[in-house]
Amino acid sequence: MEVTTYLVVCRRVGDWWAISVPELNGVHTQARRLDQVAAAAREAIALLLDVNQTVVDVDVFPEPPGV
């Protein structure tokens, strides 16, 4: 199966990183630390698309504070 890369946008909300995938409507999740964002996003995308996480890649874009 071909690997697909998705843009993942995250922003700090309190103690958590709020995560969304703009090209996939309804994919939202959260992570406690920035280094956990990619894994959480891959899992959420794979669940929505009903595919194995190994065919999902992500580019994480953290929004700067105050945006």
**Average pLDDT over the chain, rounded to whole?**
95
pLDDT at 61 over 70: yes
* Amino acid at the residue 38: A
- Residue 34: CB atoms within 10 Å: 12
pTM of the entire predicted model? 0.91
Output the pLDDT for position 1. Answer: 75
* Letter string b/e over residues 41-67, b meaning 16 or more CB atoms within 10 A of that residue's CB: bbebbeeeeeeeeeebebebeeeeeee
Tokens of 58: 């992500």
